[in-house]
Structure 1
Amino acid sequence: MKINIEVGDVLAVAADVLISTANPWLNLSGGVNGAILSAVGPTIQAELHEHLKSKGLSAVPAGTVVQSAAGGLPFNLILHAVAIDPFYDSSIELVRKTVVAALDLAIKAGAKTISTPTLATGYGPMSIADFGTAVAPLAGEPRFDGLTLTIVVRSDEHRSELLEAISVTRDQA
């Protein structure tokens, strides 16, 4: 898998699939989720709540990925990735597990290009470097060959942190 890092707005980076941050209640309440709600209105929120209702749940476990329509955004679909627990805690292992689940769903959907913000780094406790440490080993996974993952960050400083973490993790592998 090829990993690109861009500075900008993740909702403006066209890709086959967007992996979006999500909380266990699938509420589009802040960060990238809030931006999705602002951009497309309540349709995706309604779809996510219907998913919970159809499963008889009020929340999904950490590590869950739920698919929705893209609501007119430049993606074929959105994968809402829950990389935090109900207390907004996370770990490198949980982020890696969640990204793997999302990438597997993206492949099933026929995606070749995927964009994502840094999961669990906004309301979650993870650093940008931790996210890089979580995803770097996935670049060498044969099942992800042919994919391009674009990680979108908000600043040049975050881009530098992420590049360093990914290169250090690859060197240690």
Structure 2
Amino acid sequence: MAVKVIRQGDIVDAVADAIVFSTNEHLFLSGGAGASLLGKHGDALQKAMHRALAGTGRKVAMRGEVFEIEPQGTWGRMFAVVAANGFYETSREDTSRAITGVLGRCAEIPGLRTIAMTALGTGYGNMEIEDFVEIFCAVELPSPIEELELVIHGYIFFKAACKTSEALGSSARLIAGSV
């Protein structure tokens, strides 16, 4: 049976087969989870992000787009989601579609069973954590995905996520503390 987890911690400490995180339309690792990932993996990750965007032939990505970042020595499978446009606007529809899309892609990868993700579009985007948690709790996990973990860095946001999850009657496990 597939499990959903809401955990307080830092995405760089997550142990999962794939990491899903927000990025901006230029795929810069400039803030929030991106800055943490850049701090851990360095400029090689930023260059891989830029290669992913260059592969589209465009200079700007569209809100809701998902980019698989080529694995390297210090990181495994990563998916960057453009959660907000240049005006920091997000939408529930784009976010839900992006999550469903990335989960579908992950389900096609042999051996990939666990996914850790950040609360897409809640940092530099205008989505509230409560809205993201509603999407997270409602999403269906495709087989063979066994676990989807939402990793929330700040304690206040984690508590808001727990409150929303509980109000929805979600079966997501809630884990305070670091990853």
- The equivalent of 2:27 in structure 1 is 26
Which amino acid letter does the alignment assign opposite residue 16 of structure 2? A
Aligned Cα root-mean-square deviation (Å): 2.0
Query: Structure 1 142/9 Cα, relative in aligned 2: closer, same or farther at 3 Å?
Result: closer
Taking every aligned residue pair, what percent have the same amino acid on both sides?
A: 24
Distance of 1:99 and 1:59 partners within structure 2:
20
What SS does structure 2 have at the residue aligned with 1:143? coil
Q: How many Å apart are 1:159 and its aligned residue?
A: 2.4
What SS does structure 2 have at the residue aligned with 1:6? strand
Query: Structure 1 157/145 Cα, relative in aligned 2: closer, same or farther at 3 Å?
Result: farther
Which amino acid letter does the alignment assign opposite residue 76 of structure 1? G
- The equivalent of 2:138 in structure 1 is 137
Distance of 2:47 and 2:154 partners within structure 1:
32
Q: In 2, are the aligned partners of 1:153 and 1:159 still within 8 Å (CA)?
A: yes
Q: Could you state the TM-score of these two structures normalised by the residue count of structure 2?
A: 0.84
- The equivalent of 2:108 in structure 1 is 108
- The equivalent of 2:5 in structure 1 is 4
Query: Structure 1 55/76 Cα, relative in aligned 2: closer, same or farther at 3 Å?
Result: same
Relative to its length, the structure with more helix (as a share) is 1
What SS does structure 2 have at the residue aligned with 1:131? helix
Segments of 5+ residues of structure 1 without an aligned counterpart are none
Which amino acid letter does the alignment assign opposite residue 31 of structure 2? G
Q: Could you state the TM-score of these two structures normalised by the residue count of structure 1?
A: 0.86
**Total equivalences in the alignment:** 168
Q: In 2, are the aligned partners of 1:2 and 1:148 still within 8 Å (CA)?
A: yes
Q: In 1, are the aligned partners of 2:103 and 2:141 still within 8 Å (CA)?
A: no
Segments of 5+ residues of structure 2 without an aligned counterpart are 171-179
Which of the pair has the greater relative contact order for Cα pairs under 8 Å at 6+ separation? 2
Which amino acid letter does the alignment assign opposite residue 133 of structure 1? E
Query: Structure 1 7/42 Cα, relative in aligned 2: closer, same or farther at 3 Å?
Result: same
